[in-house]
Amino acid sequence: MDNNLEQITFGGGCFWCVESCFNMLKGVQSAVSGYSGGHKDNPTYEEVCTGETGHAEVVQITFDPKIISYAQLMDVFFFLHDPTQLNRQGNDIGTQYRSVIYYKDEAEKAKAEEALKKSEESGKWPGKYVTEVTQFEKFWPAEQYHQGYYNENPTQPYCSTVVGPKIQKFKKHFGELGMLNEA
């Protein structure tokens, strides 16, 4: 990895829309769907969906901090999901859909906790946040068919009814802020 790039890993529900949105941001080199926080090596999507592996669906983002900051990525993260829902996002229910930020060191933990506090105090999401701030251990990339899933399957029923509207809301908001790559 380029020494000027950094990585962040977090889960905000189904990784299909989270990954798609982060890949549209200026300064993001890649957003990869995968799994973290569990106890099984090389988990499969089917195994993670049982809730028995302990993994969360996550996105690992590689970004250039000279173009997009950690704080901006956190703003996007809290925009894309409801951090007050324990082990779910809408109709997606299970521990694999938990809200979680994985940190690599104490400095990153402090930044994550500050971003969480700032977002909670903003009142954007009414209620108590349940987002976990957890030590990063391992990232397992999801199967290839999950990478860019929304872009490849926009008419799939879940994508057209759940992911698509979320992406449109994201594009409108962050497009107005000038944070999106040119199409």
Residues marked active site are found at 14
Could you tell me which of 94, 88, 101 has the C-alpha nearest to residue 52? 94
Query: How far is residue 70's CA from residue 96's CA, in Å, rounded to a whole number?
Result: 24
* Integer angstrom CA distances of residue 106 from 6, 73, 129: 15, 18, 21
Q: How many residues does the chain have?
A: 183
Residues pairing with 93 in the sheet: 88
- Taking a C-beta distance cutoff of 8 angstroms, is the pair 12, 77 a contact? yes
Query: How far is residue 14's CA from residue 35's CA, in Å, rounded to a whole number?
Result: 11
* Tokens matching residue 30: 């890649």
Map residue 17 onto helix, strand or coil: helix
Could you tell me which of 121, 7, 134, 22 has the C-alpha nearest to residue 80? 22
